[in-house]
Amino acid sequence: MYRTDLLSHFESRQNQREVTAWIRQIKDLVAVRDFEDDGHLPEYLDESERRRVVEELERMPPGARSLRRALGIVSPPLIRDDT
């Protein structure tokens, strides 16, 4: 039981580090602040969706990188719920 709790704790910390790194990466990439995030955006996306958001942002020209547009491609329901 203790070992399972310990592994769960380490997995949780690893996930938190990954999410923190993703948020930092998004802030660095996004040029157009057009999506209001209440701090819960990473919770609505799984790891592959977060990776795809970054890929979509990197495809856009640097001065026109829109989080709303990237999210609309990866997870359209998030955009509909934001309006």
- The residue count of the chain comes to 83
Instruction: List residues bridging with 32 in a β-sheet.
Output: 66
Domain coordinates in residue numbering, the chain: 2-82
What single DSSP character describes residue 62?
G
Q: pTM for the whole thing?
A: 0.83
Residue with token string 């592994």: 7
Q: Note the pLDDT of residue 13.
A: 87
Q: Note the pLDDT of residue 72.
A: 96
Q: Note the pLDDT of residue 17.
A: 93
pLDDT averaged per 10 residues, the chain (length 83): 68 89 96 90 95 98 96 94 55
